[in-house]
Amino acid sequence: MALIVQKYGGTSVGSVERILAVAEKVKSWHDRGNQVVVVVSAMSGETNRLIELARQIDPDPSPREMDVLLSTGEQVTIALLAMALHRLGVDARSYTGGQVHIRTDSAHSKARIMDIDGTRVRADLEAGRVVVVAGFQGVDENGAITTLGRGGSDTTAVAMAAALKADECQIYTDVDGVYTTDPRVEPKARRLERITFEEMLEMASSGSKVLQIRSVEFAGKYNVPLRVLSSFEEGEGTLITLDEEDDVEQAKISGIAFSRDEAKLTIRGVPDHPGVAYQILGPIGEANIEVDMIVQNIGKDGTTDFTFTVHRNDLPRALEILKKTADELGAREVESDDKIVKIALVGVGMRSHAGIASTMFKALADEQINIQMISTSEIKVSVIVDEKYLELAVRTLHDAFGLDAEN
């Protein structure tokens, strides 16, 4: 007998028929003698619909009330799934995040899970029940409802699995595993049988939304066996593992991630002296805006040009701050561009293979794709290019690194 945590995403519970199909699937795991905890997302489109309703009342609504609103999506699906299980004769109980004490900090809309009290869930499992838990939500120490950021049900599932010491955490979604790149952009993408936590973390933080970043962090930290599978077809899916395979033939690159959520800011002609980087980025950091890539160029005339990227949603605020800084520092000009994307090659195989970056740059050059910024880490090379090249660049690199599926 195993303890399994399963998570079903928005598309997988997107209609009554699909909720009934999920119930069948859960029942079959339960019938085989497993203890099953199910975490569900809101029905697909529901979270966006709720956000839109709020915007019609206030473009900048109270974060506390926003979380009260958004958490309702998942409350609908837990109840419907529990009913669907009852219809199949399975004893099941649904719980909101607060009811199973998913305690978070108070950072509304991006709260972090601090602690889960598994007592109630364990008691239900011991009594032979299936437990259905609302994803994406928790409560802070004052009892206020919080949400965990978009895609946060993944993190609820992994955190539940860690708290209950589950044998496996299964993420059921609308693809049958983690692919070499988003199959919606490159139909030749191939399913990976395994990928390391480290690679998955780089893929997720470079824009692959198949798993929320925090869920991968959590799984790596607590060593939760994690698998991504299809809700609609049988299959092994993709296992996210701790160890790298000792395969000499190991691929140089495991996957290609991309993000459309990027924007770039440049400040030119800044008098160059120690502390300039701090003076430029300090106020951005104080405004809680995350900076991703940074490039600094030194000019001959004793000035410097400084470029950095932020999340596209943060561009208006970042630009306002940077203009103020430019006045204070006597810089020549400030520019911004939100028509850019980031593309990243990821693979632990990079550690033992040279020349990855140059192969990447050549492949892009052959297609006349201009690279605007570059950054590298031990297992990743990322570039910024014009957004109109996204599909072409991803497909070109997919082919250049031999990732295309055979046939």
Residues of the shown chain interacting with ligand ADP in the complex, contacts defined by CB under 6 A: 9-12, 41, 151, 173-175, 178-179, 181-182, 184, 208-210, 255
* Residue appearing with tokens 């409802």: 145
Pairing of strands 303-311, 102-104: unpaired
152 binds, among ligand ASP, Mg ion, ligand ADP, none (CB under 5 to 8 A by kind): ligand ASP
Question: Is residue 10 near ligand ASP by the rule CB under 6 A?
Answer: yes
> Which is nearer to ligand ASP, 158 or 340 (by Cβ)?
158
> Shortest approach of ligand ADP to residue 354 CB, angstroms?
25
Count interface residues toward ligand ASP (CB under 6 A): 12
> Which is nearer to ligand ADP, 208 or 309 (by Cβ)?
208
Tell me the Cα Rg of the chain.
23
According to the 3-state scheme, what is the secondary structure of the chain?
CCEEEEEECCHHHCCHHHHHHHHHHHHHHHHCCCEEEEEECCCCCHHHHHHHHHHHHCCCCCHHHHHHHHHHHHHHHHHHHHHHHHHCCCCEEEECCCCCCEEECCCCCCCCEEEECCHHHHHHHHCCCEEEEECCEEECCCCCEEECCCCCHHHHHHHHHHHHCCCEEEEEECCCCCECCCCCCCCCCCECCEEEHHHHHHHHHCCCCCCCHHHHHHHHHHCCCEEEEECCCCCCCEEEECCCCCCCCCCCCCEEEEEEEEEEEEEEEEECCCCHHHHHHHHHHHCCCCEEEEEEEECCCCEEEEEEEEEHHHHHHHHHHHHHHHHHHCCCEEEEEEEEEEEEEECHHHHHCCCHHHHHHHHHHHCCCCCCEEEEECCEEEEEEEHHHHHHHHHHHHHHCCCCCCC
> Which is nearer to ligand ASP, 150 or 311 (by Cβ)?
150
373 pairs with which residues across the strands? 384
> Shortest approach of ligand ASP to residue 361 CB, angstroms?
35
For ligand ASP, which residue of 13, 14, 18, 73 counts as binding (CB under 6 A)? 73
- The 187-216 site mask, x for binding Mg ion (CB under 5 A), equals ------------------------------
> Shortest approach of ligand ASP to residue 40 CB, angstroms?
9
Give the footprint of Mg ion on residues 144-163 (CB under 5 A).
151
> Which is nearer to ligand ASP, 14 or 347 (by Cβ)?
14
Question: What is the C-alpha to C-alpha distance for residues 395 and 376, in angstroms, rounded to an integer?
Answer: 20
For ligand ASP, which residue of 42, 82, 322, 369 counts as binding (CB under 6 A)? 42
> Shortest approach of ligand ASP to residue 72 CB, angstroms?
10
Please state, as a whole number, how many other Cβ atoms lie within 10 Å of the Cβ of residue 27. Answer: 18
Question: What is the C-alpha to C-alpha distance for residues 133 and 155, in angstroms, rounded to an integer?
Answer: 12
73 binds, among ligand ASP, Mg ion, ligand ADP, none (CB under 5 to 8 A by kind): ligand ASP
Give the footprint of ligand ASP on residues 119-178 (CB under 6 A).
135-136, 150-153
> Shortest approach of ligand ASP to residue 354 CB, angstroms?
39
- The 322-361 site mask, x for binding ligand ASP (CB under 6 A), equals ----------------------------------------
Give the footprint of Mg ion on residues 8-27 (CB under 5 A).
9
> Which is nearer to ligand ASP, 216 or 265 (by Cβ)?
216
Q: Report residue 285 as tokens.
A: 């950091």
> Which is nearer to Mg ion, 212 or 382 (by Cβ)?
212
> Shortest approach of Mg ion to residue 32 CB, angstroms?
27
> Shortest approach of ligand ASP to residue 75 CB, angstroms?
11
Using CB atoms, what's the residue nearest to ligand ADP?
9
Q: Report residue 125 as tokens.
A: 């499992």
14 binds, among Mg ion, ligand ASP, ligand ADP, none (CB under 5 to 8 A by kind): none
Question: What is the C-alpha to C-alpha distance for residues 5 and 291, in angstroms, rounded to an integer?
Answer: 35
> Which is nearer to Mg ion, 204 or 348 (by Cβ)?
204
> Shortest approach of Mg ion to residue 7 CB, angstroms?
9
182 binds, among ligand ASP, Mg ion, ligand ADP, none (CB under 5 to 8 A by kind): ligand ADP
Phi, psi of 71 (to 5 degrees): -70, -15
Q: Which residues bind ligand ASP (CB under 6 A)?
A: 9-10, 41-42, 47, 73, 135-136, 150-153
Q: Which residues bind Mg ion (CB under 5 A)?
A: 9, 151
